[in-house]
Amino acid sequence: MTVVTRFAPSPTGHLHVGNVRTALHNWLLTKHHGGRFLLRIDDTDAERSREEYVDALKADLAWLGIEPEGEERQSARFAIYEKAFARLAEAERVYPCWETPQELELKRKVLLGRGLPPVYDRAALAIPEDERTRRIESGDKPHWRFLLDRERPIEWDDGIRGPQRFDPAQMSDPVVRRADGSWLYMLPSAIDDVAMGITDVLRGEDHVSNTAAQVQMFEALGAPVPRFAHEALLTGTEGKLSKRLGSMGVAQFRDAGIEPAALVALLGRLGTSDPVDPSLDMAALASSFDLSHFGRAPARFDEAELERVNAAVVHALPYEAVADRLPEDMDAAAWEVVRPNLARVAEAQDWWRVVTGTVVTPALADEDRAYVGEAVQVLEDTWGESPWQGLTGALKVRTGRKGKALFLPLRLALTGMDHGPDMAALLPLIGRDAALERLRAAAAWEGP
């Protein structure tokens, strides 16, 4: 059987880090089995759904390299829901209810006060059929619940959590349709999964109780139940996902200079026992994706780790992959020089200014200024194929300096910084004339 998964976001906002992880894991599961990954836009909430969010989430998925092989919109499928709903009504698996929210809340409080689970008492089922019909025909619109079969337990073998068992007698019949005719999540989702041929549903553990009800919905629809797997939710380093991070969209990661490969590498392994490996591409991640590697412990999203992974990804990027994001006159050789010092591609601009721009003359001690003055004399005579080696080799002989005392004053004079790319590679980019000018300025510097 071909594996078919789906990602079903509601277009009421931008994709955040948890959404991205869900989409990525479904894509990886599909590709591991050579199946199909589908996108379903759950836009039944007409008031909150926005087309701009649909466009944004598609762009976000594309940026990450996640390409759906089909797309559906729930707003275009209402006729399908109506037909399935009519069949369920005829089979008496959905029933009308007229309790107000206030009445339901009062019932809930009474049950909790007695130490009982707040399970709906099915009072609406006691309304005679003719009374139900009369109320509906008179315009007294009900909300609708799905009638759970309480005669047998609900069971499934979860791909991550293992065997699951729910007692439907301890569950309320879920509301599936509001009095205004609009749909809640669970029934349309099940109907769509049947119609779209979804074989595997991989989602967060906060949906486990929804799955228990949906198992019976699939059965009532006369359809096979998909394989379900529920992964642990993301948390932050403090034990829970912060509001800021939980709402952080893909565009914010992108604007912050995070590479898509870094986000994919980290999120692809979060929640599993597999190590995060920045060198793995999407294909390699998919080939190693295995639900048996997931644990029950919360999956911690660490921004510091994302930074580390991003730097590793940047360090491996070829010039061709970043050329359009580099300064116009920065060539492949220059990229190779500065790349090991970057945490983000955008930082190449800063190092290119060190090469081509004006360097702030550092304040050096008197003995270091004299030393840099000697460097001017040496460099005027020793510039060759390896100017840094020639310069430092000659100065070591002339001054007896070595180690930090030999190299640091020169780096400060030539770059204005005490760290950076290998000077042996950087000095040829700076060039003889600019290097001499900077050394002379540092040797002559006497303070503001």
43, containing H or E segment = none
CB proximity list for 87: less than 8 A, separation 6 or greater: 221
Helix count and strand count (H, E) for the chain? 20, 12
Rounded CA gap, 329 and 364, in Å? 32
Whether residue 245 contacts residue 236, with contact meaning beta carbons closer than 8 Å, is answered with: yes
CB proximity list for 156: less than 8 A, separation 6 or greater: 163, 164, 211, 215, 225, 228
Helix boundaries (H) for 138-224: 186-195, 208-220
Whether residue 205 contacts residue 174, with contact meaning beta carbons closer than 8 Å, is answered with: no
CB neighbourhood size of 339 (10 A):
20
CA angle 314, 25, 58 (to 5 degrees): 75
Helix boundaries (H) for 234-291: 243-246, 250-255, 260-269, 282-287
Whether residue 42 contacts residue 189, with contact meaning beta carbons closer than 8 Å, is answered with: yes
| Residue 419 Cα distances to 84, 315, 364, 415, angstroms | 67, 17, 16, 9
Reduced to 3 states (helix: H, G, I; strand: E, B; else coil), residue 443 is helix
Helix axes 387-399, 423-430, angle to 10 degrees: 110
235, containing H or E segment = strand 234-235
| Residue 251 Cα distances to 22, 157, 259, 280, angstroms | 17, 37, 11, 23
Known binding residue 141? Answer is no
Please give the annotated binding residues, written as ranges.
243
Binding-site entries for ATP: 243
